[in-house]
Chains A and B, each alone.
Chain A
């Protein structure tokens, strides 16, 4: 049959166990992507029903209600109440049986749409343990929908849920509003002025409901859309809301304000009145319920003024350690594998441009992509565990006071801290921030955190520019102070940039912190592994292709044009050396010829030409054209500066920051007028530039992927590099005016 699969939507509050249920129902063979135009993760999987039929299950982002003021929140609304596409064939709403009073709010909103609904009453085991008894049959009767108790973690109740879903798919769409009033109606008890207001908006919306929607269902859709519009439209950032709807809502709100009514409260209170009535009938709390829950007792420690901060520091320290140290063997192994593959090709493949492209472009580019995977996987693993266990919400709770000072959400802390290791996984980590502006601010500021790729640059520059003997009074090494200053500068500018971005391009009311602190739970291993796998795969596929492409382009810039005459001249020198020398003397001579050859080749390359062209621009910062080539090459990855300087200064290829030949060459480097290139002041200026500049193209690729547009990475590059240029200019010019060199 050519008929496309029927679509079922999975909705629920955050912390309702939605992900666990999705994974359990789909067997976790899900496709992951982004909703078009927004940065919300979209997961779709197939569910097998009892009679062998299969349906597509779409996992909606966790949401407390269908009220939506941002495009991100609108995703759930569009899935359930589409004005453009077809509505889903059925909806599963996941509710936490232990916190049903609040979770029913969303369930009620979904029922109001008139779509066939199955309510999965999750975590029945926890509810029972807490002494909460839910009368499932009574609840189902009153909501006029199947209610299936499940325990998603253990799989309990899943066969029943599948059967209920199959039934729902054959059920006719309900008219949730126009049905005669009876117990099974979910119509809100709206009266008087409120009812008049809702009906006014509903009349505007009714003609917009799709023609192919079942007539019995049309009225419910229009009413549900009207209720959504009244609560959402006004101070929103939504796109594509018809002007007529905006006008109708504005008119209704204006009238309510004039009459001194709060229409928001009237609608929300009507829903909760219904919930309270349901709860009275269907929920019993046994007197034997434990007085103090396990979560309370854990929180007494984890959010304690002293112990809480200590635990916080330890957990964040472990995260930091993991990103810096534990990922190191894996990163090293990947780098060794890439180098090994390059060596094999260099040794066995015939020489020529194709080999060079493969070795230094393609393989190096693939290496640039997969080298991030260990850190991404580790951080994703950490965050999945923190989130599933409930501690991530406490991290925000504990540290929000500090973060809110610069206008950031408490949840921005973990991504910012992770930025010390690497911006790539850190940007992925911003996904835990719900609010779009908060997320963008965090994403745009965190590349200022001094990532581990800057460290080799600092190490080399400090070793070259500051003599080891240079000490301050008290015997403190100047180099150590310089290093510390770079990290301090990075933290200060990160927070400053966040504060400025929050007040300018991403201006908005200071976002409220309305944060649920879920009960502590043991993380589900499967969820954690799947989340880790998803993030790593998404990165490799989406950001990876872009990184690979830019690496190849950069390789081309650094290697072309090739000058045949130049290569022939060096070949002749090599041949001459081979004819006249032997043993170690020959090796030394060949190495020196190779280094000169590489240096001259790079000088003539496009990158070398650009380096020379920008020399007048970077000279006021104290940089010569060779450093300029290094800056261009640093777009591949910051640490590439070290090996590039190695090449342009003729210390040979494959040098690292600990290399004495390279250090010696750089210390000896002179301007044509005989003055030293790498003076302490130039070193300082260069390091300040590296603290602030946006150079890592992998970061651009990541920000593009996660923000869904080129606008944000472009803004990031412009503001960071402007900042870097001005700061370096200030350091160098003021330093010189003060008589430093």
Chain B
């Protein structure tokens, strides 16, 4: 099954395999360092369940689940 960032749980680590979805959002995410080959970790979920916080390139980035579904990952065991 193809996994996306939205499928991961808090604490999970993964490597980005593709960034799709809306062109503008994909470009913004890539410029923020979320590129294929980048390692990311799910740090936290907002109190109301959305957005989520990920750690990427040693900083914290918050994205909505809707955008997270456009980021494909190959999961690694946490």
**Contacting pair A513 B23 (CB below 8 A):** no
- Are the CB atoms of A397 and B27 closer together than 8 Å? no
Q: Smallest CB–CB gap between B41 and chain A, Å?
A: 12
In the complex the two chains form, is B24's CB within 8 Å of A102's CB?
no
Chain A residue nearest to B26 (CB atoms) is A264
Report the stretch among A375-383, A453-461, A514-522 that lies at the interface.
A514-522
Indicate with 1 or 0, residue by residue over B29-72, a CB within 8 angstroms of chain A CB atoms. 11111011000000110111111010001111111101100000
In the complex, how many angstroms separate the beta carbon of A37 from the nearest chain B beta carbon?
A: 22
Closest to A100 in B: B58
- The bracket for how many chain B residues form the interface is 20 to 34
Quick check: A299 and B44 within 8 Å, CB to CB? yes
- A350, chain B: closest CB distance, angstroms: 65
A514 touches B48 (CB 8 A): no
Which of B27, B36, B61, B63 has a CB less than 8 Å from the CB of A264?
Answer: B27
User: Shortest beta-carbon distance, A262 to chain B, in Å?
Assistant: 8
Establish whether residues A303 and B48, one from each chain, have CB atoms under 8 Å apart when the complex forms. Answer: no
Q: Is the CB of A401 within 8 A of B48?
A: yes
Q: Chain A: which residue is nearest B25 at the CB level?
A: A512
Over the window 301-325 of chain A, the binary record of Cβ atoms lying under 8 Å from chain B Cβ atoms (1 yes, 0 no) is: 0011110110010000000000000
B5: Cβ under 8 A from any A Cβ: no
The CA of A513 and the CA of B22, in the complex, are separated in Å by 13
Q: CA A111 – CA B24 in complex, angstroms?
A: 24
A-facing residues in B5-28 (Cβ within 8 Å): 19, 22-28
**Helix, strand, loop or mixed for chain B's interface?**
mixed
Q: Which residues of B contact A401 (CB under 8 A)?
A: 46, 48-51
Q: Is the CB of B35 within 8 A of A513?
A: no
Evaluate whether A397 and B51 lie within 8 angstroms (CB atoms) in the complex, with A509-B22, A512-B25, A512-B28 already known: yes
* Distance between A394 CB and nearest chain B CB, rounded to angstroms: 9
CA distance in complex: A105, B28 (Å): 12
Q: Which residue of the partner chain, among B25, B29, B47, B67, contacts A309 with CB atoms under 8 Å?
A: B47
Q: Does A404 contact B (CB under 8 A)?
A: yes
The reply on A113 being an interface residue by CB < 8 A is no
Complex contact B46–A400 (CB within 8 A): yes
Please, what's the 1-or-0 string for A514-542, where 1 marks a CB less than 8 Å from any CB in chain B? 11111000000000000000000000000
Shortest CB–CB separation between residue A517 and chain B, in angstroms? 4
Which one, A64-72, A590-598, A636-644, is touching chain B? A64-72
CA–CA, A67 and B64, complex, Å: 21
Q: Does any Cβ of B come within 8 Å of A489's Cβ?
A: no
| Contact status B61-A516, CB under 8 Å | yes
Whether, in the assembled complex, A269 has its beta carbon less than 8 Å from a beta carbon of chain B, the answer is yes
CB of A101 within 8 A of chain B? yes
Q: In the complex the two chains form, is A517's CB within 8 Å of B62's CB? A: yes
Q: Does A553 contact B (CB under 8 A)?
A: no
**Contact, CB under 8 Å: A101 / B50:** no
Q: Provide the residues of chain B in CB contact with A396, threshold 8 Å.
A: 62
| Residue A231 lies at the interface, judged by CB distance under 8 Å to chain B | yes
Instruction: Collect the chain B residues with CB atoms within 8 Å of residue A268's CB.
Output: 27, 30-31, 35
- B residues near A299, Cβ cutoff 8 Å: 44
A297 touches B (CB below 8 Å) = no
Other-chain contact of A67, B22, B31, B48 (Cβ < 8 Å): B31
Q: Which of these, B23, B29, B46, B59, contacts A102 with CB under 8 Å?
A: B59
Question: Which of chain A's residues 273-318 have a Cβ closer than 8 Å to chain B?
Answer: 295-296, 299, 303-306, 308-309, 312
**Contacting pair B46 A303 (CB below 8 A):** yes
A585 adjacent to chain B (CB < 8 Å): no
Asked whether, in the complex, the Cβ of A398 is within 8 Å of the Cβ of B48, the reply is yes
How far in angstroms is the closest Cβ of chain B from A454? 30
Q: With both chains docked as a complex, state the minimum distance between the C-beta of A638 and any C-beta of chain B, in angstroms.
A: 34
Q: Which chain A residues (395-442) contact chain B, with CB distance < 8 Å?
A: 396-402, 404
Q: Which residues of A contact B60 (CB under 8 A)?
A: 295, 516-518
Q: Is there contact, CB below 8 Å, between A514 and B67?
A: yes
B51: contacting residue among A231, A400, A516, CB under 8 A: A400
- A235 x B24 contact (CB < 8 A): yes
Q: Cα distance A738–B66 when bound, in Å?
A: 47
| Cβ B28 vs Cβ A514 within 8 A | yes
* Alpha-carbon distance between A98 and B61 when the two chains are bound, in angstroms: 15
Assess whether A101 is in contact with B30, with CB atoms less than 8 Å apart.
no
Residue of A whose beta carbon sits closest to that of B27: A264
Contacts of B46 in A (CB 8 A): 303, 397-398, 400-401
Q: What residues on A are CB-neighbors of B33 within 8 Å? A: 101-102, 105, 272
Chain A residue numbers with a CB within 8 Å of B32 are 64, 102, 514, 516
Query: For window 476-530 of chain A, which residues contact chain B by CB distance below 8 Å?
Result: 509-510, 512-518
Asked whether any CB of chain B lies closer than 8 Å to the CB of A99, the reply is: yes
Contacts of B66 in A (CB 8 A): 510
8 Å CB contact of A304 from B24, B47, B61: B47
Residues in B with CB closer than 8 Å to A102 are: 32-33, 57, 59
Taking the nearest CB of chain B, how far is it from the CB of A252, in angstroms?
14
Residues of B within 8 A of A400 (CB): 46, 50-51, 62, 64
Given A265-B30, A303-B47, A517-B60, decide whether A69 and B19 contact each other with a Cβ distance below 8 A.
Answer: no
Q: Is the CB of A397 within 8 A of B64?
A: no
The contact of B35 among A265, A304, A393, by CB within 8 Å, is A265
A514-B58 in contact (CB<8A): no
- Rounded to whole Å, the gap between the CB of B61 and the closest CB of chain A is 6
Q: When the two chains form their complex, are residues B36 and A69 in contact, meaning their CB atoms are under 8 A apart? A: no
Known: A265-B35, A402-B48. A513 touches B62 (CB 8 A): yes
For A398, the chain B residues whose CB sits under 8 A away are 46-48
The residue on B at minimum CB distance from A404 is: B64
CB pair A67–B61 under 8 Å, yes or no, is no
The 3 tightest CB contacts between A and B, nearest first, are: A401-B48, A517-B60, A512-B25
Question: What is the interface of chain A, defined by CB distance below 8 A to chain B?
Answer: 64-65, 67, 69, 98-99, 101-102, 105, 231, 234-235, 264-265, 268-269, 272, 295-296, 299, 303-306, 308-309, 312, 393, 396-402, 404, 509-510, 512-518
Q: 8 interchain pairs (CB within 8 A)?
A: A234-B23, A305-B47, A399-B48, A402-B48, A514-B63, A516-B61, A516-B62, A518-B60
Q: A64-B32, A401-B50, A517-B53 are in contact. List 10 more A-B contacts (CB 8 A).
A: A303-B53, A396-B62, A397-B46, A401-B48, A402-B48, A509-B24, A512-B24, A513-B51, A515-B61, A515-B63
